[in-house]
Structure formats: structure tokens, C-alpha cells
């Protein structure tokens, strides 16, 4: 494999992106009205203006704060309930099906009820984000506990471990890799919940920005908002990966 052919995908990708931008510019100028498809330069200008004025950063900060704390709360609650469900088969038999049902309840459908109960503050938004994260992490954690190989539990007993010791020296670490994966999935769903909440409970944040810009037909603003959201979402997962894969004490739990 020569150097040039192993770099080929990058060239193709670059060509693709350049083509896309050129097509975009052409279409926005000659084919599609400004309100629907603004010119790339307009979008860039808007982005710069929003950054300078601080609007972009305020929105990002509001959104990040919500999604982070909601996610953290959901993860903690999820690990606890997941461990309980995984360990206690009887509890799982009864409550497991409820979870199956809850998985199908889209977070956005809960926003109006949350607002009705708790008003338009940070709390209902955090609650919804925490809720969906909780469901996802619980399911992963419970699966993780169930998947601990029987052999491993027996090996630990042979080495003199009591039931309690088996739990925190073998079951917990064995579950850790599932928990870490669940937490990562939780990030994606947390962002969906964030947007859901920000669309309806209008306030500040990226969701609000996107929604509001539609009312005022400020399409470049909308695009900047959407792209920022996307970058934020994938950026969050990227940071998560960096932390869990590169901190040795954590990365060892992602080994199987």
C-alpha cells in the first residue's frame, strides 16, 4: 500500500465537501430563495456576528449546562436502578416490563406535563433530560449485571470472596464496561431531550435560538444554531471517548 492510496479517502472526502459547498453557494444564489437556503457566506457572517455579540455563547452555555447536569443526574440514578434491576431477578421481572414501556415514551411528549407541573424553569428541563438518560443507563447497567459470566462469579468464590465481596469486587467492575457504553448512548438521547425541552419551553439556549429564528425568518441564524448543536453533540461524545479511553484507570473497564 503506497502512501497515496492510504490517504485516498481523505482526498475523496475533501473533494466531496468542496463540491458540496460550491453546489450550496450556486444553488443559494441562482436556484433557491434566500429565506430557504442562505448563501454560505451569509451563514458564516451570521456565525461571526453571533459569536462577537455573545449571543452564540450564551445560548451554548445555557444548553450545555442543562444537558450536562441532566445527564449526570440521569447517569447516577440509572446506575443505581440498573444495579438493583440486574441483581434482583424478581424486582426485574415486575419492573423490567415497565421500562420496556417507558423506553417508547418520547421525551418530548413529557414536556407539556412537566411544564404544567413545574412551570417554565430549569427544573422541568433538567428532569426530562435526566429522565431519558436514566432510562437508557438503567437498561445498559441491568444488562451488564446480567451478563457477568457465571464462571467469573465461581472463580471469585473459589478465591475466598464472600457474596458481598463478589458484588463489589467482581460484579461492579464487570458491569462497568456496559455502564460506560450506556452513558455514551445517554449523551445522544440527552441532546434530543434538550432540544425537545428548549423548543417548547421557550427561554434561552440553542433550541430556543433555532425555534425563534424561524419566527423571524432568520434562516442563517437557524443554520448556525443547528450546526452548533450538532458540533456540541458530537463534541460531547468525543470528549467522553477521550476521557474514558485514555485515562488508564477508566479505560481498563472498557476491556472485555
List the interface residues with other proteins, window 191-210 (CB under 8 A): 191-192, 195-196, 199-200, 207, 210
* 96 is a contact residue toward other proteins (CB under 8 A): yes
Q: Which residue has the cell 427544573?
A: 123
Task: Assess 173 for contact with other proteins (CB under 8 A).
Answer: yes
> 38-67 mask for other proteins (x: CB under 8 A)?
------------------------------
Cβ atoms of residues 217 and 35 within 8 Å: yes
What is the spatial distance between Cα 64 and Cα 206, in angstroms, rounded to a whole number? 9
CB of 176 to other proteins, least distance (A): 7
Element (H, E) at 245: helix 219-246
Q: Does 97 bind other proteins (CB under 8 A)?
A: yes
Of the listed pieces 52-60, 123-131, 135-143, 150-158, which binds other proteins according to CB under 8 A? Answer: 150-158
Extract the runs of DSSP E, i.e. beta strands, from 107-166. none
Taken as a whole, the chain contains a residue count of 256
Question: What single-letter DSSP state applies at residue 202?
Answer: -
For residue 62, give the C-alpha cell.
445555557
Binding to other proteins, residues 231-250 (CB under 8 A): 231, 233-234
Choose one: 8-16, 22-30, 48-56, 57-65; the region binding other proteins (CB under 8 A): 8-16
Cβ at position 108, least distance to other proteins in Å: 5
* Whole-angstrom distance, CA of residue 137 vs CA of residue 97: 16
Return the H-helix or E-strand segment holding 45: helix 40-53
Helix axes 89-103, 55-87, angle to 10 degrees: 150
- Is 17 a binder of other proteins (CB under 8 A)? yes
**Distance separating alpha carbons of residues 184 and 124, to the nearest angstrom:** 23
Least distance in angstroms from the C-beta of 52 to other proteins? 24
Taking CB under 8 A as the criterion, the residue among 110, 136, 183, 224 binding other proteins is 110
Binding residue for other proteins, selected from 10, 30, 164, 216, defined by CB under 8 A: 10
Amino acid at each position: 500500500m503506497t502512501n497515496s492510496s492510504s490517504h485516498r479517502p481523505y482526498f475523496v472526502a475533501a473533494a466531496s465537501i468542496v463540491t458540496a459547498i460550491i453546489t450550496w453557494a450556486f444553488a443559494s444564489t441562482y436556484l433557491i430563495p434566500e429565506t430557504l437556503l442562505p448563501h454560505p457566506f451569509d451563514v458564516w457572517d451570521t456565525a461571526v456576528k453571533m459569536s462577537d455579540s455573545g449571543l452564540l455563547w450564551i445560548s451554548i452555555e445555557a444548553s450545555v449546562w442543562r444537558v450536562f447536569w441532566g445527564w449526570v443526574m440521569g447517569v447516577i440514578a440509572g446506575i443505581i436502578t440498573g444495579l438493583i434491576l440486574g441483581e434482583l431477578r424478581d424486582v426485574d421481572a415486575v419492573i423490567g416490563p415497565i421500562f420496556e414501556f417507558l423506553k417508547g415514551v418520547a421525551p418530548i411528549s413529557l414536556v407539556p406535563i412537566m411544564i404544567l407541573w413545574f412551570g417554565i424553569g430549569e427544573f422541568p428541563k433538567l428532569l426530562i433530560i435526566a429522565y431519558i438518560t436514566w432510562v437508557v443507563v438503567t437498561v445498559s447497567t441491568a444488562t451488564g449485571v446480567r451478563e457477568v459470566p457465571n464462571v467469573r462469579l465461581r472463580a471469585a468464590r473459589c478465591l475466598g470472596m464472600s457474596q458481598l465481596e463478589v458484588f463489589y469486587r467482581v460484579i461492579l467492575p464487570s458491569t462497568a464496561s456496559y455502564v460506560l457504553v450506556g452513558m455514551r448512548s445517554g449523551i445522544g438521547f440527552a441532546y434530543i431531550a434538550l432540544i425537545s425541552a428548549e423548543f417548547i419551553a421557550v427561554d434561552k439556549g440553542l433550541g430556543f435560538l433555532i425555534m425563534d429564528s424561524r419566527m423571524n425568518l432568520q434562516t442563517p441564524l437557524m443554520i448556525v444554531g443547528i450546526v452548533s448543536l450538532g458540533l456540541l453533540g458530537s463534541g460531547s461524545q468525543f470528549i467522553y471517548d477521550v476521557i474514558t479511553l485514555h485515562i488508564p484507570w477508566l479505560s481498563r473497564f472498557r476491556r472485555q
